[in-house]
Amino acid sequence: MDTKEFQKRSLISIFFSYFKPHKNLFILDMSCAFLIAIIDLSFPAITRYSLYELLPVNAYKTFIIVMSIMLIAYTLRAFFYYIITYYGHTFGVLVEADIRRDLFRHMQNLSYGYYDKKRTGQLMSRLTADLFDITELAHHGPEDVFISTLTIIGSLGILFTIQWKLTLVISLILPIFLLVVWYRRYEMSKASIEVKEKTAYINVNIESGLSGMKTAKAFANEDLEFEKFNESNNAFKASKTRFYKTMGRFIATIEFFLCILPATVILVGGILIMKGQMNQIDLITFSLYIATFITPIRKLSNFAELFAKGRAGFVRFVNMMRIETEMPDAPNAIELGRVKGELDIKNISFSYKKGIKVLHNISLHVDPGETIAVVGQSGGGKSTLVKLIPRLYDVDEGEILLDHIDIRNVTQESLRKNIGVLQQDVFLFADSILENIRYGNPDATIEEVVLAAKQAEIYDDIIAMSDGFNTFVGERGAMLSGGQKQRISIARIFLKNPPFLILDEATSALDSVTEAKIQETFDSLIIGRTTFIIAHRLSTVRNVNRILVFERGKIVEDGNHECLMEKKGVYAELYNTQYFNQ
């Protein structure tokens, strides 16, 4: 289903759509549930038959045969419960896994800007905690409702044939009970949604606290971080306490009605016996049937709790799936082949927030293979410009053409396959060096990965490590130096081999010696590629084809190093300031 279908369809329709791929397991589960209900209904009826027909005439042989049949039936019942427990839960897990798969895929399709506003912990909660209860709801929900309904209706039908007056009294109590349970379920549902929200909140703080643990230690701010954690932990505790208070009222209500039912049977049945309208055998049968559907009633009450929790998670899932990406591919978007790298930017403007422009009416032409440096004070719009080229954001006005094709008319995947991006904040996955380099081309062979490592001048460092290419890099590459992380990210780009390259302050976090070494690698990387370099240290871009100087979202100067120095404008001032401060 796409986003539009999620927006149109009801919750229950969406929920049951996930049953279809696993319908055989579902049918097996429900068939076993049906047979269990039949066995449960048969025992009181067979007991009544034995008490009326077999015991009074001492029919030992028939009685033993009947009881043997019941023993076999209960053996089968145990086997059916094994099937329900194993295959039923497997069915629930498969449904949950499908939901999680669709949610993760949907998250991937959301725009780059969406993640500027959302915390990782919140999204983690959507993928984990919110979906845990869906397994139980998918498995036990239909099964419990089916068994319970069948058993209760079947029991009442049989009881009406035995003594309609007593059955009528029980039938009047049950609707009251179910209405009260439904009302309590609504209370629990609201409380459960609050728990899910607070769980997401505490996940955000845990994720932030763990990610920033080293910084907290460096600033000796452990107490401050503990206070933040404690605040979210207390909020979670309070919401959980309110949920269990609601659940307590729910359970108390159920237990009250479950005690009322057998007491009512004895009271009304005793009166009917004294009036001669009923005998002890029928009273025993009634008691057995009441015991039979007390279990289904408990299942219904458990379902109400399960439904409250599962629905809370499922509602949050559906709400997420109904979020539309801000930048979908055009309906007739074309697949972009390997480009030459000619870029035309025509009168573009852009703002992150409506009414506050970051870029103002920028136009630019770049020839294939040309190297462009983008410099200027922080906040001038340099990084914003290069984020628009791979269409991480959409321009408000104007257009960007790559090889004379508007980038809004091509698929985002094919566009980004043509563009390699190196950023200041290198992200490495908690995996081996091999897999981190191979991320540039997941289908690459070992030989191609080794070649990329050599091109990035990281091969010797890798071979010197104890596990070579299989060395684990740690969380975000914590086991490596800054220069090693940067070279691995360069190796990724060599492996990807894109015709268009963006270096977004890729060396600004490194020391001068390491930067100088990596600069040599960059020089070989950019050969034959259209390249944009955002640079903080102007000494590193002296030899590029052109330098664009940004100021307050506009290009104020455009030329090579010598030309701009002769102008004695903004660039010359920036360069001289850096040179004399060294």
Six-digit token string for 279:
């005998």
Q: Region 275-293: what's the mean pLDDT?
A: 81
Name the DSSP class of 52: I
State phi, psi for 499 to the nearest 5 degrees: -80, -15
Residue 310 · residue 141 · CB < 8 Å: yes
Q: What pLDDT band is residue 323 in, cutting at 50, 70 and 90?
A: confident
User: What's the pLDDT score for residue 580?
Assistant: 54
Name the DSSP class of 354: T
Q: What pLDDT band is residue 218 in, cutting at 50, 70 and 90?
A: low
Q: Region 103-112: what's the mean pLDDT?
A: 82
Percentage of residues in the chain having pLDDT higher than 70:
91
Q: What gap in Å lies between CA 463 and CA 52, rounded to an integer?
A: 87
**Average pLDDT value for the chain:** 82
Residue 481 · residue 458 · CB < 8 Å: no
Q: What pLDDT band is residue 515 in, cutting at 50, 70 and 90?
A: low
Residue 91 · residue 26 · CB < 8 Å: yes
User: What's the pLDDT score for residue 75?
Assistant: 92
User: What's the pLDDT score for residue 76?
Assistant: 93
Give yes or no for residue 582 having a pLDDT over 60.
no
Q: Region 71-87: what's the mean pLDDT?
A: 90
Q: What pLDDT band is residue 212 in, cutting at 50, 70 and 90?
A: low
554-559 vs 405-406, strand pairing mode: unpaired
Which residue matches tokens 């019942």? 77
Give yes or no for residue 357 having a pLDDT over 60.
yes
Task: Summarize the chain as % helix, strand, coil (round to 5).
Answer: 65, 10, 25
Give yes or no for residue 506 having a pLDDT over 70.
no
In single-letter form, the type of residue at position 358 comes to: V
Q: What gap in Å lies between CA 32 and CA 525, rounded to an integer?
A: 64
The domain made up of 3-321 has a fold known as ABC transporter transmembrane region fold (1.20.1560)
Give yes or no for residue 147 having a pLDDT over 90.
no
CATH of the domain spanning 343-580, picked from 1.10.3720.10, 3.40.109.10, 3.40.50.300, 3.30.1490.190 = 3.40.50.300
3-state secondary structure of 299: helix
Q: What pLDDT band is residue 72 in, cutting at 50, 70 and 90?
A: very high
Q: Region 537-548: what's the mean pLDDT?
A: 81
User: What's the pLDDT score for residue 4?
Assistant: 81
Q: What pLDDT band is residue 513 in, cutting at 50, 70 and 90?
A: low
Least confident of 177-191, 313-327, 449-463: 177-191
Q: What gap in Å lies between CA 324 and CA 327, rounded to an integer?
A: 9
Q: What pLDDT band is residue 400 in, cutting at 50, 70 and 90?
A: very high
Residue 533 · residue 422 · CB < 8 Å: no
Question: Is the backbone of residue 368 left (phi > 0), alpha (psi -120 to 50) or beta?
Answer: beta
Q: Around Cβ 520, how many Cβ atoms within 10 Å? A: 10
Name the DSSP class of 472: B
3-state secondary structure of 268: helix
Least confident of 150-164, 187-201, 229-243, 259-273: 187-201
pLDDT in tens, 90-100: 888 888 889 88
Cα 352 vs. chain centroid, distance in angstroms? Answer: 26
User: What's the pLDDT score for residue 508?
Assistant: 59
Residue 348 · residue 359 · CB < 8 Å: yes
Give yes or no for residue 102 having a pLDDT over 80.
yes
Give yes or no for residue 514 having a pLDDT over 90.
no
Give yes or no for residue 433 having a pLDDT over 60.
yes
The set of residues, in sequence order, having a beta carbon less than 8 Å from that of 14 and lying 6+ positions away, is 1, 6, 318
Give yes or no for residue 132 having a pLDDT over 80.
no
CA atoms within 13 A on the CB side of 401: 14
Q: Region 543-559: what's the mean pLDDT?
A: 87
Domain ranges of the chain: 3-321, 343-580
Name the DSSP class of 335: P
Residue 311 · residue 136 · CB < 8 Å: no
Q: Around Cβ 237, how many Cβ atoms within 10 Å? A: 13
Give yes or no for residue 185 having a pLDDT over 70.
no
* 446-449 contacts at long range (C-beta below 8 A, 24 or more positions apart): 448/495, 449/491, 449/495
User: What's the pLDDT score for residue 119?
Assistant: 66
Q: Around Cβ 337, how many Cβ atoms within 10 Å? A: 10
Q: Region 279-295: what's the mean pLDDT?
A: 80
Give yes or no for residue 344 having a pLDDT over 90.
yes
Q: What gap in Å lies between CA 185 and CA 310, rounded to an integer?
A: 12
Give yes or no for residue 369 having a pLDDT over 80.
yes
Residue 126 · residue 318 · CB < 8 Å: no
Q: What pLDDT band is residue 455 in, cutting at 50, 70 and 90?
A: confident
Cα 494 vs. chain centroid, distance in angstroms? Answer: 32
User: What's the pLDDT score for residue 175?
Assistant: 80
User: What's the pLDDT score for residue 399?
Assistant: 92
Q: Region 269-288: what's the mean pLDDT?
A: 84
Give yes or no for residue 81 having a pLDDT over 60.
yes
